[in-house]
Amino acid sequence: MNLTRRSMFKMLPAGLLVPAVLSACTIKRPNRPFDDWRRDFEVGVPARMKEAGVAGVAVAIVPNDATARYSAAFGFADVHQGRRLTVRTPMHLASVSKLFTAAALVQLFEERGHDLDSNVNEFIDFSVRNPRYPRDPITPRQLLTHTSSISDDGYEEQYETTGAGDPTQSLSSFLREYLPEDGVTYSPTGTFLRAKPGTQWSYSNVAIALAGHLVERVSEQPFASYIHHHMLKPLGIHNAHWYLKDFAPDVLAKPYALDKGKFVELPQEGYRDVPAGMLRCSVDDLATSLRAMQGADGSAILSPRTVTAMLRRQVEQSIAHYQGLGWTEETIDGTALIGHSGVDTGATNMVVLTQDQHHAVAVLMNTDATPEVDAFRSAITADLISGAKCAG
């Protein structure tokens, strides 16, 4: 993976490129029966996928109450073997994974009575501080709101993807090398911004990775283990993992790029900042998790207080138009919505909440981002929002 691709969150806001041929407007008729919406949506998706160059797409509409959710899958998990994509096929969430990391840290801090505005150095055994502002602490809240002043620039300069397979370096070792001033990959110009902590929004994978390490340190167990036992298992999710080694063969959706009209298989890649984007799960398991993150049905993983806190604006509008704890802002069809996108090698994804926050919608694709794929993602997301309105 070219790590600068992960910065596409900054460069490809959803909804900017929506050709008329992919527009969802043809099925945006309010107050129509949901079954009519579903029929028209499902009939139209395959042709739209072909035009956009998408190998497979899985989608969901998730209410925040006990009413039935909708999920569907189209296309292929393995193009060359003819293995169909299903709603139970694990897919690479990319940066949508950050919602799970944020929820884990907030859940853990609430349980242990810790303050999100405390100094991160209270919880780790190496020093993290912006050398330009040595007296200004970096806090867990800043990690989750991309205002910590930790920069990915040095990370992208120093590291390449681990290639096919899982990273061989531990999360702790990676962070120890990159963040302290005496770290072997510390960059005087790239590890921290020139801005004071808490004063500038700058999307940071490394900051989220550090948030995952805080989970490890406070819980005294590996990050992936904590997520499994405290977030996934209580929801009945058993086939979602942060590491490729934990999946059985021929289970995952394979990643693809379209080259000269043919789908080319890409490697299942890993990288060191695991909590920032390495979770793989099915759209059905994502839907189960999103329902819990909305506080539905007396959430088994988050208290009502935590759900409210995570969605509440956490930074001043002068710093970011909207930023929650993990949740950020996405623009769909000209409307700003709470959500989180995810782009990585062979993965182009979107999660947003409807304006009334009664539903979440999700789009997962096993295809490299291109302007056409991004436009398709935006249009399908808009369609799902229309479907949510029809569902009531």
Looking up residue 314, the CATH number of its domain turns out to be 3.40.710.10
Are residues 33 and 86 both part of a single domain? yes
pLDDT of residue 18: 37
Of 164, 186, 219, the one marking the end of a domain is 219
Q: What mean pLDDT is predicted for residues 203-212?
A: 98
Q: What mean pLDDT is predicted for residues 91-99?
A: 98
Are residues 175 and 227 both part of a single domain? no
Are residues 42 and 169 both part of a single domain? no
Are residues 238 and 157 both part of a single domain? no
pLDDT of residue 66: 75
Q: What is the pLDDT of residues 32-76, one digit of tens each?
A: 899 999 999 999 999 999 999 999 999 999 999 878 899 999 999
214: domain range? 100-105+114-219
Q: What is the pLDDT of residues 234-285, one digit of tens each?
A: 999 999 999 999 999 999 999 999 999 999 999 999 999 999 999 999 999 9
Are residues 322 and 180 both part of a single domain? no
Are residues 300 and 328 both part of a single domain? yes
Are residues 229 and 273 both part of a single domain? yes
Are residues 303 and 362 both part of a single domain? yes
Which residue, chain included where needed, has tokens 């959706």? 253
Burial 24-48 (b: 16+ CB within 10 A, else e): beebbeeeeebeebbebbeeebeeb
Minimal CA–CA distance to 288: which of 339, 234, 252, 337? 234
Query: Per DSSP, what are the bridge partners of residue 150?
Result: 192
Of 168, 192, 219, the one marking the end of a domain is 219
Domain count along the chain: 2
The whole model's pTM is what? Answer: 0.93
The Cα 220–Cα 346 span in angstroms is: 33
Are residues 177 and 192 both part of a single domain? yes
Are residues 180 and 234 both part of a single domain? no
pLDDT of residue 9: 46
Are residues 143 and 170 both part of a single domain? yes
pLDDT of residue 67: 81
- Which range (203-217, 285-299, 302-316, 327-341) has the least confidence? 285-299
The Cα 297–Cα 289 span in angstroms is: 12
Helices assigned H by DSSP within 203-272: 205-219, 223-227
Of 175, 190, 219, the one marking the end of a domain is 219
Are residues 228 and 198 both part of a single domain? no
Minimal CA–CA distance to 59: which of 279, 284, 281, 254? 284
Q: What is the pLDDT of residues 306-323, one digit of tens each?
A: 999 999 999 999 999 999
